[in-house]
Structure 1
Amino acid sequence: MVVSQHTHCLSLFLVLMVTGGCSIVESSPREAVPAMHGAAPKQTEAAVGETPVLDLNAYTTVEKLIPALAGKRVVFVGETHNRYDHHLIQLEIIRGLHQLHPQLAIGMETFQQPFQPYLNDYVTGAISEQEMLRATEYYQRWRMDYRLYAPILHYAREHQLPVIALNLPVELTRKVGRIGLEGLTAAERARLPDEIDRSDAAYAERIKEVFEYHPRGSGQPFEHFLEVQLLWDEGMAERAAGFLQANPDHHMVIVAGSGHLAYGSAIPRRLLRRVEADTAIVLNSWEGSIEPGLADYLLLPAEQPLPPAGKIGALLEEEDGALKVEACIDDSPCATAGIKAGDRILSIDDETINNQADLRLALWDKLPGDTISIDMLRKHWFTAGKTMTFEITLE
């Protein structure tokens, strides 16, 4: 099983305590040093004397981190969405805390709130993984390779742990991004979190720094961008707090993008406005300044890619409600099978294919060397076309 294969590897990862006795902060820019020999200016001497020092003996492992998290009712574990190693560490923490707290829930940014019933059905075994992915519209709404999150979902299903869909529906957040909260209809405003707190100036400043890196082609004003972030963070905090209030015997691990957790000002503090709980923030890697207050623990994992996925070897395009082959890559399974440009994919292993999301759903668990059956429609002038079936071994 994927999870157990990485346990030893995870135990070697280093953990840095960012709050408490040890910390790392970004050093100040160097002051100009005169081009002469002799003593350095006193101001430079003072700056050197205040250089932060990290005690390397304070490093620990993920396994040894679990007891430090055990007394926390809510543990936030950050991620860069496409980092497989981050998700494996999240699972390691979930597994360790579950052994201590059998009544454990997992809150996930990955899934949107209206689809909660399908996650419930998946965890209880009422529907299959494939049915859950289709019903939650996973590949239309989240789009990340599901294999990144599959080990967490598998563990939840195996142990019947509630998985809580934290995210707001994308239709709502996209509309706010276009026209702002004031442009919503009464019905849409009724779906907003009960409270949206704008009082944290440092939070807004960090969001503005992110905004400055975004392309300006859309013409989106910063206020709309900020409102979307507030909506995400308040919405996910409200959802998690609601579960904790309704289930006072449960602990929770919340897995979300690190930007929603860093400095505690996004999801964590907004959750604590709604429910009293001891919490800890664990970040996986961090590209910004490393300083006290960033998190409780910062993990430094070695990057680990997903295993190779099975591929058809075709360039595809969505056209008129169908998925059309633009070209087969040379010497690919597509080319070897005799598929031609213009052919339209009808189904794979009897699963209907209308778009890229359907294709990803049909292939997400396929490996190089697996064989699939593809039904294609090859159109001809003045005819309805011909249906053809190809057996393809993925590369």
Structure 2
Amino acid sequence: MTIPSLPRRLFVLLALLAATSFSILVSESGAAGRAPGPPPAPATSCLAPASWTIFGDRKPQLANSQQVLAELARRDVVLLGEQHDDVDHHRWQLQVLAGLHAQRPEMVIGFEMFPRRVQPVLDRWVAGELTVKDFLAQSEWDKVWSVPAEIYLPLFQFARLNRIPMLALNVDQDLTRAVAEKGWDAVPAAEREGVGRPAPASAAYQQFLFEIYRQHAAMRSKPARAGSRDPVFANFVDSQLAWDRAMAEMLARQVAAPASAGRPLVIGIMGSGHLRFGHGVPHQLRALGITSIGTLLPVPADSDCSDLSPGIADAVFAVPAAVDAVPEPPRLGVALDRQGGRVVIASVSAGSLAEKSGLQAGDQLLEVAGKPAAELSSVLAAIRRQPAGTWLPLQVERAGRKLEVVIRFPAGR
């Protein structure tokens, strides 16, 4: 069996970077750790829990929700960030959607989670023609997104209940993977799903992406060369830009609707990495002529103010820590991918539980706890459900041989 090439592994990291807000080291659940560098200084938070803070280009200022939403409701496009697997982020998004809908009922909600090809399924869902089970099956949720559907369903139900059109913003993973492997110019125009050439990345965005690329290279003990000197990094940037451009184009089409048709407020639901500091999707929207853009982010209430510099977003909402928060789910320290219909370990973090248990990059997962490892979502769910202090048996295939691996989760998690 061939170990996945670096470009393919970079695609895995690229697919997860969108979930990050202020951090870049990704585990198998899509959650993130701190960026590499010296130990952070003690946090000095400037946020009040359960409150809005306006940034813009000035010193942070507290604001109330009426002030923030009234201003954002006047924009053409409003982008709501998230860390994909954070339930409170989706609760916050629902709250914002309800507030904006009350002020501007004509609305369209675009979702990063869905590729364009499933748009007819979203239309039937909003029209009330599908059950939840049918909607998730026909939209291929377990194939296109590796986060449990239940944390997104309140957003989908809100759209259905209010007959708000849902828009599939994304493209198939095959396209972003192909760009990550070969670069934009090497992908034939007929295979780009109609996505136009992206606007070049700013120097700041390139630096942000390079930090992610450098972290991945460090995990594999390979040096990372900056900028155009490293063709793999150049392809990595191309793939992220194609992803941003695809979503921006779908949003821009809604803004371009004739005013006589009742132009809607266009909402984009996406990972925070796609909108921070006006990079990513906002940058591509501006290149498409859309300048009336609002960006909102959920952040932990105890965020270090040094992470919240001016320009990060129009406003951030300080998400308070939950008193009854569930303990953080177990993490193996792997990045997962799908190849040839199988779930594959794309990379293993040094010193992680996965490495200590003997898992290796390139292992194909056959069974988890005696059940077929058919989908990313089922594998992630099995890991998250594992109680502290217990053993999780895995069956993997490595170089044509089937091996049994037992993960021993430490007690007291």
**Which residue in 2 is equivalent to 1:253?**
267
Cα distance change, pair 88–181 in 1 and its aligned pair in 2 (3 A): same
Deviation of the 1:358 alpha carbon: 8.7
Aligned residue runs from structure 1 range 226-237, under 5 A? 226-237=237-248
- TM-aligned CA deviation for residue 343 of structure 1: 11
Superposed, which structure 2 residues align to 1:283-298 within 5 Å? 283-285=297-299, 289-298=307-316
Counterparts of residues 95-114 of structure 1 (less than 5 Å): 95-114=98-117
Identity across the alignment (%) = 28
Q: Could you list the per-position Cα deviations for residues 332-375 of structure 1 after superposition, in whole angstroms to 9, with x for gaps in the alignment?
A: xxxxxxxxx99987xxxxxxx99346969x99xxxxxxxxxxxx
Which of 187, 204, 210 is 1:184 aligned to? 187
CA gap of 1:102–1:357, structure 2 versus 1, over 3 A, is same
Q: What is the CA-CA distance between 1:217 and the residue it aligns to?
A: 4.3
Secondary structure of the structure 2 residue equivalent to 1:154 = helix
- Rounded Cα–Cα distance in structure 1 between residues aligned with 2:315 and 2:141: 30
Q: Does residue 300 of the first structure (1) align with residue 311 of the second (2)?
A: no
Q: Which of 124, 128, 150 does residue 125 from structure 1 map onto? A: 128
TM superposition score normalised by structure 1: 0.64
Matches within 5 A, 1:263-342: 263-285=277-299, 289-304=307-322
What one-letter code is carried by the residue in structure 1 that aligns with 2:272? S
After the TM superposition, which residues 157-196 of structure 1 pair with which residues of structure 2 at under 5 Å, given as runs?
157-189=160-192, 191-196=193-198
Task: Determine which structure has more spread, i.e. the larger CA radius of gyration.
Answer: 1
**3-state SS of the aligned residue for 1:164?**
strand
Give me the whole-angstrom Cα distance separating, in 2, the residues matched to 1:115 and 1:148.
Answer: 20
Partner of 2:20: none
1:183 CA displacement: 3.1
- 2:63 match: secondary structure: coil
Structure 1 residues 110, 69: closer, same or farther in 2, change over 3 A?
same
Structure 1 gaps of 5+ residues are: 1-10, 24-57, 309-317, 324-340, 346-352, 364-395
Letter in 2 for 1:268: P
User: Does residue 53 of structure 2 align to residue 16 of structure 1?
Assistant: yes
Tell me the distance in 2 between the aligned counterparts of 1:242 and 1:322: 36
1:60 matched to 2:102: no
1:83 to 83, 86, 99: 86
Name the CA distance, whole Å, in 2 between partners of 1:194 and 1:59. Answer: 39
Assess, with a 3 A threshold, how the Cα gap between structure 1 residues 359 and 131 changes in structure 2: closer, same or farther.
farther
Distance 1:177 1:102, change over 3 A: same
Number of corresponding residues: 284
Alpha-carbon spacing, 1:87–1:294, altered in 2? closer, same or farther (3 Å): same
- CA positional deviation for 1:179: 2.2
- 2:251 is matched with 240
- 1:116 is displaced (CA, Å) by 0.8
Match of 1:213 in 2: 215
Partner of 1:202: 204
Unpaired segments of 5 or more residues in structure 2?
1-47, 223-230, 328-337, 344-366, 383-413
Deviates more, 1:240-249 or 1:285-294: 285-294
1:262 paired to 2:276: yes
Provide the residue aligned with 2:233 in structure 1.
Answer: 222
Question: Aligned equivalents of 1:22 and 1:198: distance in 2?
Answer: 29
Distance 1:61 1:113 in 2: 36
